[in-house]
């Protein structure tokens, strides 16, 4: 397909996607070839129409994706917000639930640490649900399993923040180093890491991320929306306030 044909295709797709009735009316009286000639003539006379058409098409597709995600969130809301196998920080009875998908080797997740801590400190009515989503290698998987296993010793929160605050690559060695520093029983931790509930949590995180079209970390789900990427404490507070 040559450039003009591709351009024409984009132009026509935008017209249909935007609900334009003009094309349908014109098509009743003009042949397909004549319509193509008119469209291409307009494009050649005003090349910026290409950029405008692409932007409109992207907007339409984004709106369609967002509508689809909202529907999926509604269907999976109970699992997202009330999974008994997911760690909850903040106020367990809070009026707004914030769900974070994260990886211990994600630099932006590490940067989100002080932002989330500030949110929880300033707003005592937020439920923060963690979805361990280790997508950055074997070290991330090991750390996620260890963190979830720390629940058996009542130290998930301490372990989580310590891992997020660790400077350097998180792998088996650094994970166990942090575990010792916060006082975890290492032998019990290793045993608890084999609990099937840990595998279930990680697998569910994978499924939810795929369903919600989440492609990177950190990603936050609040209300009916997914917010990909790092959010500052002010942005988090704004999102929470809007949903409240």
- The three-point CA angle 84-87-92 to 5° equals 80
Q: Is the peptide bond before 218 cis (omega within 30 degrees of 0)?
A: yes
User: Worst-scoring range by mean pLDDT, 13-22, 125-134, 152-161?
Assistant: 13-22
Q: Which of the two residues, 244 and 43, has the higher pLDDT score?
A: 244
List the one residue out of 115, 101, 69 whose CA is nearest residue 211: 69
- What was the pLDDT predicted at 47? 72
- What was the pLDDT predicted at 48? 77
* Predicted confidence (pLDDT) at residue 7 exceeds the cutoff of 80: no
**Percent of the chain residues past pLDDT 70, beyond the cut:** 76
Q: What is the DSSP string of 154-191?
A: T-HHHHHHHHHH--S---HHHHHHHHHHTT--HHHHHH
* Predicted confidence (pLDDT) at residue 10 exceeds the cutoff of 60: no
* Predicted confidence (pLDDT) at residue 25 exceeds the cutoff of 80: no
- What was the pLDDT predicted at 240? 97
Q: Would you say 176 and 150 are in contact if contact means Cβ atoms under 8 Å apart?
A: no
- The predicted-structure confidence for 170-226, as pLDDT tens digits, reads as follows 999 999 999 999 999 999 999 999 999 999 999 999 999 999 999 999 999 999 999
The stretch 32-56 carries a mean pLDDT of 69
* Predicted confidence (pLDDT) at residue 35 exceeds the cutoff of 70: no
Q: Which residue has the tokens 């010793």?
A: 153
- The predicted-structure confidence for 102-112, as pLDDT tens digits, reads as follows 999 999 999 99
């Amino acid at each position: 397909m040559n450039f003009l044909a591709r351009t024409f295709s984009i132009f026509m797709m935008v017209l249909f996607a935007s609900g334009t009735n003009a094309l349908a009316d014109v098509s009743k009286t003009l042949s397909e070839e004549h319509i193509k000639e008119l469209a291409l003539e307009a494009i050649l006379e005003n090349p910026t129409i290409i950029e405008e058409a692409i932007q409109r098409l992207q907007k339409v597709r984004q709106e369609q994706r967002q509508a689809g995600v909202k529907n999926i969130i509604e269907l999976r809301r109970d699992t997202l917000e009330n999974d008994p196998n997911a760690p909850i920080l903040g106020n367990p009875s809070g009026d707004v639930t914030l769900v974070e998908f994260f990886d211990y080797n994600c630099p932006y997740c590490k940067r989100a640490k002080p932002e989330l801590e500030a949110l929880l400190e300033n707003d005592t009515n937020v439920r923060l649900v963690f979805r361990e989503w280790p997508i950055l290698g074997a070290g991330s998987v090991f750390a996620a399993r260890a963190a979830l296993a720390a629940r058996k010793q009542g130290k998930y929160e301490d372990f989580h923040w310590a891992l997020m605050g660790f400077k350097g690559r998180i792998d088996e060695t650094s994970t166990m180093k942090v575990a010792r520093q916060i006082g975890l029983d290492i032998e019990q931790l290793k045993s608890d890491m084999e609990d099937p509930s840990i595998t279930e949590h990680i697998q569910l995180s994978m499924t939810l991320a795929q369903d919600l079209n989440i492609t990177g970390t950190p990603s936050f789900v609040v209300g009916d929306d997914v917010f990909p990427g790092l959010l500052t404490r002010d942005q988090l507070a704004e999102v929470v306030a809007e949903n409240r």
